[in-house]
């Protein structure tokens, strides 16, 4: 499906829906079978009147239908518009329908949704929370990392206030021998350290490695420039002068840029999948509503036929 997210999502406008992105849907533990669309629609109530005069009331306004999709139970409010179309009327559905009908891209949708009250998909607020979390992470060092030399080191913040208020921090690295995660191979003398915090978030630190065999403490300045994504910090030794050091610095920056790109793309892919899942859920719900509408129309047709036959017999 090329241009999946950037293209206009075509909705016919008569029936639309965006199912709520429930918290459970983003969890990995929930069994999902989205590729197999099996909707069991229990219309409550689907009172099909025998009298033609009641045909217009086949679906009562704001009646609820229970849609069971892939093991999930959703309560859907269904309402008939003036033209016999079934329309979902959940309060948030109205808003989301409008959003979907002009959906230019998932990102835009999410931003718009985030400005609304929908808490589960508040992209912007999530970012803010993430930023806050990163700040917290940066101040909750020590963390344990492993260098490319196979050493496990502990990064300990000497002064948390200094880190947060000035963005500049001297960290100490000591051999700890536990909690290692990963480290990227770098030019001689440098290492990009990737480590995972307790909450699963990741940090990157480029570290000129010159740890003594005894694991001597070495001080670096650690900073979080604005050009780097959240969670990426740079540790640079002071006083780089020689061409070799400049080359190393250049290679280090290049590696950091690549890592930054991977990091961002990783996040982007995660978001993309989340939006795609929501999109699929939306389509599934729409299918369910359309099936319901189709069923109603068939019943309506049947009733009209009976009325017509009965009328023909009496004449």
Binders of DNA among residues 233 to 262 (CB under 7 A) are 262
Token pair belonging to 223: 């900073």
By beta-carbon proximity to DNA, the closer residue of 223 and 277 is 277
Q: Cβ of residue 215: shortest distance to DNA, in angstroms?
A: 28
**Residue whose CB is less far from DNA, 16 or 255:** 255
CB of 313 to DNA, least distance (A): 53
Q: Please report, as residue ranges, which positions from 4 to 43 form the binding site for DNA (by CB under 7 A).
A: 4-6, 27-28, 30-35
Q: Give how many residues touch DNA by CB under 7 A.
A: 31
Residue 199 C-beta: closest distance to DNA, Å: 13
| Closest separation in Å from C-beta 210 to DNA | 26
Binding pattern to DNA, positions 267-286, x when CB under 7 A? -xxxxxx-xxx---------
Q: Considering the complex, state which of residue 139 and residue 196 has its C-beta at the smaller distance from DNA.
A: 196
Cα separation of 237 and 209, whole Å?
10
State the Cα–Cα distance between residues 126 and 83, nearest whole angstrom. 41
* Strand 202-208 relative to strand 232-236, pairing: parallel
3-state secondary structure at position 228:
coil
Cβ(112)–Cβ(99) below 8 Å: yes
Task: Identify whether the C-beta of residue 195 lies closer than 8 Å to the C-beta of residue 189.
Answer: no
Residue list 79-138, contact with DNA (CB under 7 A): 105-107
C-beta closer to DNA: residue 85 or 276: 276
Residues β-bridged to residue 194:
182, 204
CB 190 within 8 A of CB 248: yes
Q: Please state, in angstroms and rounded to a whole number, the distance separating the CA atoms of residues 39 and 72.
A: 10
**Torsion of Cα atoms, 30 then 34 then 38 then 44, to 10°:** 60
Query: Residue 266 Cβ, how far from DNA at the closest point, in Å?
Result: 4
Unique residue bearing structure tokens 């409550």: 44
Q: Work out how close the CB of 111 gets to DNA at its nearest, in angstroms, rounded to a whole number.
A: 8
Asked if 3 is part of the footprint of DNA (rule: CB under 7 A), the reply reads: yes
Of 5 and 215, the one with the shorter C-beta distance to DNA is: 5
Closest residue by Cα to residue 64 from 49, 75, 48, 80: 75
Using CB under 7 A, list all residues that contact DNA: 1-6, 27-28, 30-35, 105-107, 262-266, 268-273, 275-277
């Amino acid at each position: 499906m090329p241009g999946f997210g950037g293209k206009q999502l075509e909705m016919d406008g008569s029936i639309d829906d965006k199912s709520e992105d429930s918290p459970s849907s983003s969890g990995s533990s929930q069994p999902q079978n989205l590729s197999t669309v099996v909707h069991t629609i229990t219309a409550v109530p689907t009172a099909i009147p025998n009298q033609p005069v009641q045909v217009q009331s086949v679906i009562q306004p704001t009646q609820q239908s229970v849609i069971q999709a892939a093991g999930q139970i959703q309560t859907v409010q269904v309402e008939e518009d003036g033209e016999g179309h079934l329309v979902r009327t959940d309060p948030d559905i109205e808003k989301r329908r409008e959003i979907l009908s002009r959906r230019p891209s998932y990102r835009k949708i999410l931003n718009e949704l985030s400005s609304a009250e929908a808490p589960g998909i508040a992209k912007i607020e999530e970012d803010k929370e993430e930023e806050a979390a990163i700040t917290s992470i940066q101040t909750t060092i020590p963390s344990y990392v492993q260098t490319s030399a196979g050493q496990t080191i502990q990064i300990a913040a000497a002064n948390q206030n200094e880190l947060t208020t000035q963005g500049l921090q001297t960290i100490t690295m000591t051999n700890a021998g536990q909690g290692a995660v990963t480290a990227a191979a770098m030019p001689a003398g440098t290492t990009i350290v990737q480590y995972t915090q307790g909450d699963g978030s990741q940090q990157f630190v480029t570290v000129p490695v010159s740890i003594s065999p005894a694991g001597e403490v070495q001080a670096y300045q650690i900073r979080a420039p604005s050009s780097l994504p959240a969670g990426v910090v740079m540790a640079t030794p002071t006083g780089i002068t020689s061409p070799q050091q400049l080359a190393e610095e250049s290679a280090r920056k290049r590696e950091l840029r690549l890592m930054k790109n991977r990091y961002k793309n990783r996040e982007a892919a995660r978001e993309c999948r989340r939006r795609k899942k929501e999109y699929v859920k939306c389509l599934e719900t729409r299918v369910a509503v359309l099936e319901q509408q189709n069923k109603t129309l068939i019943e309506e047709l049947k009733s009209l036929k009976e009325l017509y036959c009965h009328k023909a017999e009496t004449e």
